Structure 1
Amino acid sequence: MTLASVASAQVNGVGQRPYLGWSSFSQQTIDPAFLTQANMVAQSDALATSGLQAHGYTYINLDSGWQGGFDANGRPTPDPRTFPDIKAMIDHIHGHGQKAGIYWIPGVEEPAVQANSPILGTPYHIQDILALPHRAGNAFGAPGESPYHYKIDFSKAGAQEYIDSVVALFASWGVDFIKLDGVTPGSYSDDLSIDNRDDVAAWSKAISRSGRPIWLTVSWAVDKDYQDVWQAYSNARRIDDDVECESRCATLTNWPRIEKRFRDLPGWQDVAGPSKGWNDLDSLDIGDGDEDGLTVDEKRSAVTLWAMANAPLYLGGDLTKLDETGKQLAGNDEVIAVDQSGKPAVQVIGGDLPVWVSDLGGGRYHVALFNMNATRAVVELPWRVLGLTGARRVRDLWRHQEQGPSSGSYRVELPGHGTQLLLVEALPGHMTPGPSTNYEAEAATLAGTAAPAACAGCSGDVKVGGLGLGAGNAVSFDHVYAPRDGAYLMRVDSLTLGLRSYLYQVNDGPFQTFNSGGGSFQLPSQSTLPVCLRKGFNRIRFGNAASYPPDLDRIVVGGTGDAALPASSTYEAEAAVLGGTVTAGFSNYFSGLAKAGNIGVGSANSVTFPAVTVPTSGSYQLEIDYATKGPRTLYLVINGQAPIRLDLDGSSFDDPVAKVLDVSLKAGTNTIGLGNADAPAPDLDRIVVAPRVLPAWLGASATTCQR
């Protein structure tokens, strides 16, 4: 079967723009009894009366759990206890002018295999189409001859006809959407003996043969290496794992799981669009109040990223409890227009204050500015970065307000985890961003286990891997040239599946963190960071002593020395001075991909940040990112002064939570200690030190390399 031989699902009339709707899965994670026909009817009714349908929200999608058996032809059938009449349910959904979605997986489940059911319209049976030796049919399957989910061999007669029959059954019910889950390569399984690429092609062909326009999404966290298949045969592909906590925290989701999308999306930003399909970032849990696990600012930032990515916008939670905040966030037509623009954004500045931009053509742009820290921050975009002299018009799309013209740079103060989304119309004229120089990782100084490796998508077809898990396992660019002192832009071309983090050091300065993600170890993800360089040659060293950094292709350093530099500084707990029993190690959702644990129960069992540097004496914001399950107390000591007691709480040691307070620091170097002599303390991720943002600050550039 070739790509050309199968009608593409992307041109089936339903995928030219990302869809809007709702999915059951988020609510299922906190209410296992939620998935019933009665509840789906209630969700359909709630969507119809919410007002969101007028804004384009039409899909009601059932996720995993609806199926209860198999028919005489080995096709999945609903559980009669929970879905006594699925066609009547879908007719009800259609009666509201909505569309109905359903969930299934590649392969054949064991009950249908054991029954060896005849395949509809053929002389073949289920066991005739299975791959031999028997093996897992998707990422959920077990190893061995009895994997429960069995792989289909699509070279065998009857295999395509079986998938045709399943899709025909779904179509007979009136299904408009199929989520095909557990798809490999991906779903954090690189076992190519499973390899569902032929399954996805078969499902696409079956949809075409069904005569019904059905959206096809492949899920979850699929590998970008096989994007040609995902593009040819599906309307969208999930690029991440589930956004839900799934009992790992006390709410539907939380900020670390939203932030993960910010880190992974740059690796996929070049492959989305009307003819390529859409990057699916999973559900938006924004309408159930505190149960969502997000602040209003965090919810707004999530919707902004989804919209800039042109991702499908589908709500989670319980629509019968949809609050006014959720309605306002989901129903903003100017933001929905960004999502429906067919122009997915690219990240032009990364790090803790990222900026995403979509070029709409004709001098018009969508621009989204974000603050990933919990402290307030001023985010700055020099128009030069976009090749612009300035903007004659800037409109805030969340607040529906005109901001007026802007020249030089655009600046805005954002709350913690906040965003601003703009429509920009450029001034006439063009500016060059300045010269740039490539520095290949394999040509740099490699230390420890760092070593070159083949990389088909990399510059020069070579990358450097083996970084991290030891202070000596690093790559050092020893001759990075700057024509003058200043802040430059450093593009980092890195490679990873999932989250990884560099701790990098410029000359003899402090460690800085680049938290990245991606979908491939063969196709680089690009992110641009501001970096302070001195006139002449500089050394930039990449590694991660405590955890896993990405592989590294190259860095590209450019600009004129006047880039915008964040005013905050981050200090990783795992890179601080760890006393007594305190240990540092891998932790997936944490900055630096590591945290410090075993803190407390002894005065020596503490974390000390000995070189927290600020330019002037005064009051600063201090963000402490910690993790705990249940209440714990942490004592903060600044420059040997009296301890400050912090009573903290949380629902998981897997995810960091931010605490922000105002503290007094002296000009120059400060020492900050955190511990608890009497009882176990929370684990620590990092601290962030930032100035107390004042309105007057907006009038001056953030650029400074003197802190």
Structure 2
Amino acid sequence: MPPARSRAVPVRHVPTLSRLVLACGLTALASTATAQVNGVAHRPYLGWSSFSQQTLDPAFLTQANMLKQSDALAASGLQAHGYTYINLDSGWMGGFDANGRPIPDATTFPDIKALIDHIHANGQKAGIYWIPGVEEPAVQANSPILGSDQHIQDILALPHRAGNAFGGPGESPYHYKIDFSKAGAQAYMDSVVALFASWGVDFIKLDGVTPGSYSDDLSIDNREDVVAWSRAIAKSGRPMWFTVSWQLDKDHNDIWSTWANARRIDDDVECEGRCATLTNWPRIEKRFRDLPSWQDAAGPTKGWNDLDTLDITDGELDGLSLDEKRSAMTIWSMANAPLYLGGDLTKLDPEGLRIATNDEVLAVDQSGHPARQLVGGDHQVWVSDLGDGRYYVALFNMNAAPATVSVPWRLLGIPGALRVRDLWTHKELGPSVARHDVLLPAHATQLLLVQRLPGQVLAPPSKAYEAEAATLAGTAQVFACNGCSGGSKVGGLGLGTSNTVSFNEVTVPRDGVYLMQVDSLTLGLRSYLYRVNDGPYHTFNSGGGSFQLPSSSALPICLHAGTNRIRFGNDVSYPPDLDRIVIRDGMGLPAPSVDVYEAEAATLGGTVTAGFSNYFSGLAKAGNIGGGAANAVTFNQVTVPRAGVYQLEIDYATKGPRSLVMTVNGGNARQLDLDGSSFDDPVARVVDVTLQAGNNTVVLGNPSGFGPDLDRIVVSARSGAPVTGCP
């Protein structure tokens, strides 16, 4: 089962905040909050966090190592490009003082004030980590609260329960919830922040915050904690950046954006032992899936979307190719996300350092104009409108085979580009009319600064089709939805071939490429498998931050003149809830140039089974492959327009070496020796295959040994040339 919420979600009943908050009302609170305008967060910060390296070396977080990191940041050249924060993550604390406040471990941090003074002397800022609630030792000590006649146990919620997402069940949760309607509760938070301020802390990360952090338990509900911490920061008189974490529920962004400078919209980017490196491409790709849900929520007055650590300066240890590192840096920058590196700054990789210190790309991050996704799917386009006739435009190839990615300028509402500059190569590409095309390697990006040509392009007409008015089958049903078009959505999709929603009357005036805007709802990753006019399955891998506020992505599809049918579901795994689709002209966008075939939707033989897997396309994979000729995955309808050599991307997962044996149309068997470090995250292998015009059959198995788990295959033209029209 996924860690996300249930697939059919009725209207959520959210408890109100305590009397402390209701006394003024949320509107009044928003008008008086100072956290977002405290002089530290008009632009996203740049720096470094200890956590990534801690996932590889649990003993890394010490005062001695933090001194080295501070000195390395200054000496590396990073600081000259704006990287100034040194943030200590979880593990610095060793106990509590006489007033129940967290204090450092005397062995690993013998003098935290001296450490922070050193950081400041280097011209940097110091960050620290803590969590909502009160931990067991402070509760048992029942210490008096500074500035109050209350004690720790006087401010706890009754009955005792978890105070954050890390707390346990029952009345002894170790992390205890604070009741902010009680006298002394705000004073306790004031005293904790005052202690941090006395050390010289410039940044606080509050972790395990709910609703979010994979917790739907509204008996925890840390919204009041966030308000209390923010108020304490203001009272301390010391400007501090305040980030709340992690994978927060967007339904409550009125609190996150009002009382904090940034909010984490994703889970941890690190593998944390589930792969052999700090991170990998599937964990970077997750940010592309979740960000559309939040793209309207960031800015100088709204706070910033935090995508987690940017692990790009540690060579092979990052688990990313150079192209993947540039793509990560690009999407973080287009999102205007805080840029904080991980790893060990004393062992910086020169190539990664060059990526992290590209000032033209850093200007994108600091622009104050977060991007929106213009085109989703396999070949994504993101755009930031700078408001003065200039745009940042980022193109991404999300697949492992080289591909041409295109953006018609009319999609931006402009007739063409007077100037196009590549910000990674620092080259002027000249003016451009009609459409920009670029051939990108695996998981690569191009980042452009575009100056528009004069003139206006009218937006094409569009037509919306509400999911609740479509044809529902199986367990699909209508639910109320606060933020949805028409106030309703369809849930209960997937987990069976018949649990679908079909739009049977999608009408367009001519054959061609259209953009299908999909307004979906989910917390975390989910995936649709959809079919157009009973053709092959297509996959839309989505993400999101709410089951009440839709996320929008636009996918290029081929439709024929007249009436079309589009059906959404997921035979094996969990799709998002669906609000509606909106169809509009593709404005010159080329037809999709790759075809994706999910292993779980193929013919599974013998022992092969399909099931949920979080980071996989379609949110599922096929396992138990091999050990007999019958235990194979057969793709029976691999269709290409003409005979020739094609690129075949095989996405698989294994921990250690395994092999797949491939046959195409019953031809000679071909053994593919594969390797990997995790069954949790897919990796790709691209091979050339000869296919015949029309339908082909591709079989992947292993008659004698164990095969890896199989995610999908992706077929594309060998040259990566764009497809101009629909088949």
Q: TM-score, normalised by structure 1?
A: 0.98
The CA RMSD over aligned residues, in Å, is 0.9
Could you tell me how far 1:560 is from its partner in structure 2? 5.9
State the partner residue of 1:703: 724
Match of 2:52 among 5, 16, 26: 26
Provide the residue aligned with 2:655 in structure 1. 629
1:546 maps to 572
Residue number among 347, 361, 373 corresponding to 2:399 in the alignment: 373
Q: Which amino acid letter does the alignment assign opposite residue 663 of structure 1?
A: V
Distance apart, 1:565 and its partner CA: 2.0
The separation in 1 between residues aligned to 2:169 and 2:366, in whole angstroms, is 42
Deviation digits for residues 74-116 of structure 1 (CA, Å, limit 9, x no counterpart) = 0000001100000000001001000000000000000000000
Residue 670 (structure 1) shift? 1.2
The code of the aligned residue for 1:410 comes to: H
Give me the whole-angstrom Cα distance separating, in 1, the residues matched to 2:301 and 2:216: 27
Unaligned runs of 5+ in 2: 1-20
Which residue number corresponds to residue 224 of structure 1?
250
| Structure 2 residue aligned with 1:235 | 261
Is 1:344 paired with 2:365? Answer: no
1:177 aligned to 2:203? yes
- For residue 615 of structure 2, the aligned residue among 582, 585, 589 is 589
Corresponding residue for residue 514 of structure 1: 540
Question: Following the alignment from structure 1 to structure 2, what is the Cα–Cα distance between the partners of residues 173 and 292?
Answer: 33
Which residue does 1:456 correspond to in 2? 482
Distance 1:339 1:566 in 2: 30
Give the structure 1 partner of residue 13 of structure 2: none
> Could you tell me which residue of structure 2 aligns to residue 485 of structure 1?
511
CA distance in 2, matches of 1:433, 1:574: 39
Quick check: 452-461 or 575-584, which moved more? 575-584
Among 581, 591, 597, the alignment partner of 1:565 is 591
Letter in 2 for 1:703: T
Give the conservation status (yes or no) of the 8 Å contact 1:382–1:408.
Answer: yes
Q: In structure 2, what is the equivalent of residue 555 of structure 1?
A: 581
The match for 2:499 among 448, 470, 473 is 473
Residue-by-residue CA offset, 1:632-683 (whole Å, 9 max, x unaligned): 1111111111111111111111110100111221222111110000011000
Kindly indicate whether the alpha-carbon contact (under 8 Å) linking 1:68 and 1:76 is maintained by their aligned counterparts in 2: yes
Q: Deviation of residue 614 (structure 1)?
A: 1.3
Determine the structure 1 residue equivalent to 2:18.
none
Mapped to 2, the partners of 1:693 and 1:354 lie a distance apart of 19
2:468 to 424, 437, 442: 442
Paired position in structure 1 for 2:646: 620
CA distance in 2, matches of 1:399, 1:509: 41
Contact 2:322 2:352 in 1 (8 A): no
Out of 84, 92, 98, the position equivalent to 2:110 is 84
Q: Secondary structure at the match of 2:379?
A: coil
1:153 maps to 179
Q: Which amino acid aligns with 1:208?
A: A
Counterpart amino acid of residue 726 in structure 2: C
1:11-410 matches, within 5 Å, as 11-410=37-436
State the alpha-carbon separation in 2 of the partners of residues 567 and 358 from structure 1. 25
Greater alpha carbon shift after TM alignment, 653-662 vs 19-28: 653-662
SS at match of 2:600: helix
Q: Deviations over 1:103-148 (max 9, x none)?
A: 0000000000000000012211000100111010000001111110
Distance 2:696 2:414 in 1: 40
- Identify which range, 63-72 or 119-128, moves more after superposition: 119-128
Aligned mates of 1:295, 1:612 — CA distance in 2: 29
- 2:628 aligned residue: 602
* AA partner of residue 473 (structure 2): A
Instruction: Provide the secondary structure at the position in 2 that maps to 1:256.
Output: helix
Pairwise CA distance, 1:561: 7.1
2:11 match? none
2-side partners of 1:115 and 1:36: how far apart? 27
Write the distance in 1 (CA, Å) between the matches of 2:422 and 2:586: 29
The farther-off stretch of 322-331 and 557-566 is 557-566
Q: Distance in 2 between matches of 1:349 and 1:342?
A: 21
How far is 1:326 from its partner?
Answer: 1.6
CA shift, 1:63, in A, is 0.1
Give a deviation string over 1:441-480, Cα, whole Å, max 9, x none. 0000000000000000000000000000000000000000
1:414 pairs, out of 420, 440, 460, with 440
Amino acid at match of 2:155: I
Q: Which amino acid aligns with 2:49?
A: S
Mean Cα deviation higher: 615-624 or 372-381: 615-624
* SS of structure 2 residue aligned to 1:613: strand
State the distance in 2 between where 1:567 and 1:281 align.
Answer: 29
Residues 221-276 of structure 1: CA deviation (Å, up to 9, x unaligned): 01000000001100000000000000011110000000000000000000000000
Letter paired with 1:64: S
Q: Per-residue deviation at 1:564?
A: 2.1
Secondary structure of 2:327 counterpart: helix
Structure 2 Cα separation of the partners of residues 56 and 494 of structure 1: 37
Of 684, 687, 709, the residue aligned with 1:661 is 687
SS of 1:81 mapped into structure 2 = coil
Is residue 594–residue 717 contact of structure 2 (8 Å, CA) maintained in 1? yes
Letter in 1 for 2:368: G
Do 2:370 and 2:384's aligned partners in 1 also have CA atoms closer than 8 Å? yes
Quote the Cα distance in structure 1 between the aligned partners of 2:148 and 2:604. Answer: 68
Residue 647 of structure 1 is matched in structure 2 by 673
Partner SS, residue 244 of structure 1:
coil
With normalisation by structure 2, the TM-score equals: 0.96
Measured against aligned partners, the alpha-carbon deviations of 1:527-548 in whole angstroms (never above 9, x if no partner) come to: 0000110110000000000000
Q: Structure 1: where are the runs of 5+ without partners?
A: none
Rounded to whole Å, the distance in 2 between the matches of 1:46 and 1:638 is 53
Q: Confirm or deny: 8 A CA contact 2:35 2:259 kept in the other structure.
A: yes
Contact persistence 1:492–1:528 (CA under 8 A): yes
User: How many residues get paired?
Assistant: 701
CA contact (8 A) 1:625 1:684 kept: yes
Amino acid of the residue matched to residue 464 of structure 1? Answer: V
Indicate conservation of the 8 Å contact 2:164/2:208, yes or no: yes
Look up the SS of the partner of 1:325 in the other structure.
Answer: helix
Structure 2 Cα separation of the partners of residues 354 and 7 of structure 1: 37
What letter is aligned with 1:399? T
Stretch of structure 1 that moved more, 471-480 or 668-677:
668-677
Deviation by residue 1:380-419 (Cα, 9 ceiling, x = unmatched)? 1011111111101000001110011111111000001000
SS in 1 for 2:129: strand
The alignment partner of 1:203 has SS state of helix
Kept in 2, the 8 Å contact 1:435–1:560? The answer is no
C-alpha distance 640-561 of structure 1, shift in aligned 2 (>3 A): farther
Moved more, 599-608 or 616-625: 616-625
Q: Counterpart of 1:478 in structure 2: which amino acid?
A: N
**CA positional deviation for 1:563:** 2.9
Cα deviation for residue 562 of structure 1 reads 4.1
- Which whole-Å CA distance do the structure 2 matches of 1:266 and 1:89 have between them? 39
Contact 2:406 2:589 (C-alpha < 8 Å) held by counterparts: no
Asked if 1 retains the 8 angstrom alpha-carbon contact of 2:408 and 2:587, the reply is no
